[in-house]
Structure 1
Amino acid sequence: MVNRTRLVDEFLELVKIDSLSLKERQMCDLLKQKLENMGYMPVEDNAGEKIGGNSGNIVCTVKGNKKVPAIMLGAHMDTVVPGIGKKAIVDGDIIKTDGLTILGGDDASGIAIILETLKILKEENIPHGDIQIVFTVAEEIGLLGAKNLDYSKIQAKYGFILDSDGRIGCAAVKAPSHNKINAVIKGKAAHAGMEPENGISAFTIMAHAITNMKLGRIDEETTANIGIIHGGTATNIVCDRVELEGEARSRQQNKLQAQTEHIRDCFVQAAEKFGGQVDFDYEMEYPAYDLPADSAVLGIMKSAAEDCGIVFETVVTGGGSDTNIINSKGIEAVDMSIGMTNVHSVKEQISIKDMIDATTYLIAIIQNVK
């Protein structure tokens, strides 16, 4: 049923669009036009105004002709950097980058698969219940679109989010909570050549703190990282201020809290040792989700996989997605694999066969909603 040429052309068209986080206007306008051309009435919300972006989320309800629970199909419109001037290269079954930018398959492939699915449902007159399409903004910078979506307008009972790498048939059923960490280390400035002993180096405090931290893989459920550091104004001045950004993630809340407190304690102890100060704060970016094995949404996916001859498999992930937020709103949602490879890198690529298989699988999922 899948029109290979149409699916590939749609994907390539989407890839060409620059759609960095908070700058999704062109992508949003194109997708609304595509949905309108299919006869639907997409609505753009005001999430962009809330988060300082130039575009909101798209919500489009496709009315069904079958009395089954409504479902949500979701993907995000934004990409990471380097994402300006993307050029896709088709090499047989593989679509890849030119090595200078990301491809943007995360998540243009999810969008293209959803659009192809809608076309097939209409062309083949396949019975289905109500389907709510949600294309979000700013997923890559903290799931901001999903956080600011008006869920009073969402009636879906189940959600299928097309935003995961891996083999077609895999479903991410567990994902961690994420704490965003900010620390400001305060030392004392002094002339580095004339009186360094009168200064307190914020860099020294930072180095001591990080040396004593447990970072990287803490255990199978927990990770931590210091990712951004800003500090210093000149080589002849003892640095009096360093700002750091980091994170901690875990699928267990008690482990997340313990890791966050450990990072804080390392900063505090180092500041006390060298006579400086530290301001430390954190906030939860998103909550964990953990779908039970007997959840209805997984039953739907399992039955659909059998119909397609696909091997169904549940997996856990260390990443976050809109799925985390959607589950927290009471919608039973899963993050589906769509074949993305080497995402967030200039070696990103995707298989055309995987996109076709993901489309076939998504149609079977829709048919198995009961």
Structure 2
Amino acid sequence: MINKDRILSLFFDLVKIDSPSLKEKEVAVYLRKIMEERGYEVREDNAGKASGGNTGNLIVRIPATGGGEPIAFSAHMDCVQPCLGVEPVLDGDVVRSAGNTVLGGDDKAGIAMAIEALNHLEDESIPHPEIYFVFSICEESGMHGAKNLNTDLLPAKDIVILDSSGEVGTLVVAAPAKAGIKMIFTGRSAHAGIAPEEGISAIQIAAEAVAGMTLLRIDAETTANLGHIDGGTVTNIVAESATLTAEARSLDDGKLQAQLEHMEACCAAAVDKVGGDYKFEYEISYPALHVADDSTILKRVELACEKINVTPRRVPTGGGSDANILYGKGFNALTLGIGMSKVHTTDEFITIDSLTGCAELVAEIMKS
């Protein structure tokens, strides 16, 4: 059986350690100590140096005690702000923060589940194949840990990511690609009271472009959003420049490209109408994830669900995670719902049943 008191104690210890993105070192030190005291090999890669953080990803190798293909489990060490000085509170069967911070179940619940699942196998002397834990950095600030992961330290090709909302048995089989967009509009400055006709307002160009854009929910697979606008100086000068930042996401690469082309065409049309110039720049932040119906890791997880009388439920998601990056690197990646709720808010919580139930599922997946 999963030890409820043990997983709660571990989870409380983890969430009390401050770990905003790029400052996960104290959590890494804590986890390294736990793993090395049990005799496991712990390696740290250079993802921290590559992304400007104070620690890299931790990769833990647990030797096989039985047959089967190697398997990896991943959870990230960082949390979104406000995450300093977390005070976890046990309210009946629910764990929440005291209210001034996030709880940090995203994703320290995933870390606790992986470790408790391994504890259970060891308690019961249950054989398992070679297992790897990946405790990653900077997931919340752009998946920089996964992007800079030293894959030479991770020979397992099947990887389960413990980092999604949804009850036990939720399997994320599709997640969108995301493009970060920057639109720079250039006009011509002039005195707004004396010679406004000599100017071209960059803000007006931007407004014209936005007015033509189809945004927010595009279709069932595609979204687009404007995040920030900056431009101009004072009211008596026609604005010479304006910048818009935005994003677009889609489960379909073709639809994502079509949305990007549409948004740029709106910029070009605005310049044709108002004058001035524009630059439209974008970068694909991460690729779309699609888990095939015949995926070995999907079959393995669904079989594990059945063995513990949990009904597996395949779902898509609108957000990206380390899974997108790992999938793009060639891993057979599958994300599990771990029961965390209202993440990224000070109302975040997780139930004890989710902690223990997901740990039980992870333990079943680990078995030979």
Structure 1 pair 197–306 and aligned structure 2 pair: CA distance change class (3 A): same
Per-residue deviation at 1:193?
4.2
Q: In structure 2, what is the Cα distance between the partners aligned to 1:333 and 1:172? A: 10
Paired residues for 1:259-338 under 5 Å: 259-338=259-338
Structure 2 counterpart of 1:176, one-letter code:
P
Structure 1 counterpart of 2:219, one-letter code:
D
Equivalent residue for 1:47? 47
Q: Which runs of 5+ in 2 are unaligned?
A: none
Native 8 Å contact 2:46 2:150 kept in 1: no
Paired residues for 1:75-154 under 5 Å: 75-154=75-154
Structure 2 counterpart of 1:363, one-letter code:
A
Structure 1 pair 90–235 and aligned structure 2 pair: CA distance change class (3 A): farther
2:304 match: secondary structure? helix
Number of aligned residue pairs: give it: 368
2:342 match: secondary structure? coil
Q: In structure 2, what is the Cα distance between the partners aligned to 1:6 and 1:89? A: 16
Q: In structure 2, what is the Cα distance between the partners aligned to 1:174 and 1:219? A: 15
Native 8 Å contact 2:233 2:239 kept in 1: yes
Structure 2 counterpart of 1:256, one-letter code:
L
Structure 2 counterpart of 1:165, one-letter code:
S
Per-residue deviation at 1:201?
2.2
Paired residues for 1:147-226 under 5 Å: 147-226=147-226
Paired residues for 1:53-72 under 5 Å: 53-72=53-72
Equivalent residue for 2:239? 239
Q: In structure 2, what is the Cα distance between the partners aligned to 1:86 and 1:238? A: 48
Per-residue deviation at 1:154?
1.4
Structure 1 pair 272–21 and aligned structure 2 pair: CA distance change class (3 A): farther
Per-residue deviation at 1:336?
0.4
* Residue deviations 1:14-66 (CA, integer Å, cap 9, x gap): 11222111221222222212212222121111111111222110001100111
Q: In structure 1, what is the Cα distance between the partners aligned to 2:64 and 2:126? A: 10
Q: In structure 1, what is the Cα distance between the partners aligned to 2:238 and 2:25? A: 45
Q: In structure 1, what is the Cα distance between the partners aligned to 2:295 and 2:353? A: 29
1:342 match: secondary structure? coil
Structure 1 counterpart of 2:290, one-letter code:
D
The CA RMSD over aligned residues, in Å, is 1.6
Structure 2 counterpart of 1:296, one-letter code:
T
1:352 counterpart = 2:347: no
Per-residue deviation at 1:226?
1.2
- What TM-score, normalized to structure 1? 0.95
Structure 1 pair 62–199 and aligned structure 2 pair: CA distance change class (3 A): same
Native 8 Å contact 2:73 2:133 kept in 1: yes
* Residue deviations 1:258-296 (CA, integer Å, cap 9, x gap): 001111111222133221211111111111121122221
Q: In structure 2, what is the Cα distance between the partners aligned to 1:229 and 1:103? A: 31
Q: Which runs of 5+ in 1 are unaligned?
A: none
Q: In structure 2, what is the Cα distance between the partners aligned to 1:351 and 1:203? A: 48
Structure 1 pair 186–308 and aligned structure 2 pair: CA distance change class (3 A): same
Structure 2 counterpart of 1:70, one-letter code:
P
* Residue deviations 1:307-339 (CA, integer Å, cap 9, x gap): 111111111111111111212222211000000
Structure 1 pair 44–204 and aligned structure 2 pair: CA distance change class (3 A): same
Q: In structure 2, what is the Cα distance between the partners aligned to 1:62 and 1:233? A: 59
Q: In structure 2, what is the Cα distance between the partners aligned to 1:333 and 1:66? A: 23
Q: In structure 1, what is the Cα distance between the partners aligned to 2:16 and 2:134? A: 21
Structure 2 counterpart of 1:61, one-letter code:
R
Native 8 Å contact 2:15 2:105 kept in 1: yes
Per-residue deviation at 1:111?
0.8
Native 8 Å contact 2:187 2:275 kept in 1: yes
Per-residue deviation at 1:194?
4.2
Native 8 Å contact 2:21 2:137 kept in 1: yes
1:7 counterpart = 2:7: yes
- What TM-score, normalized to structure 2? 0.95
Q: In structure 2, what is the Cα distance between the partners aligned to 1:88 and 1:38? A: 27
1:293 match: secondary structure? coil
Structure 2 counterpart of 1:115, one-letter code:
I
1:139 match: secondary structure? coil
Structure 1 counterpart of 2:312, one-letter code:
F
Structure 1 pair 123–235 and aligned structure 2 pair: CA distance change class (3 A): farther
Q: In structure 2, what is the Cα distance between the partners aligned to 1:209 and 1:100? A: 40
Structure 1 counterpart of 2:97, one-letter code:
T
Structure 2 counterpart of 1:349, one-letter code:
F
**4+ residue segments displaced more than 6 Å:** none
Native 8 Å contact 2:218 2:224 kept in 1: yes
Q: In structure 1, what is the Cα distance between the partners aligned to 2:13 and 2:187? A: 52
2:129 match: secondary structure? coil
Deviates more, 1:26-35 or 1:348-357: 26-35
Structure 1 pair 86–269 and aligned structure 2 pair: CA distance change class (3 A): farther
Structure 2 counterpart of 1:241, one-letter code:
S
Structure 1 pair 222–6 and aligned structure 2 pair: CA distance change class (3 A): same
Native 8 Å contact 2:83 2:101 kept in 1: yes
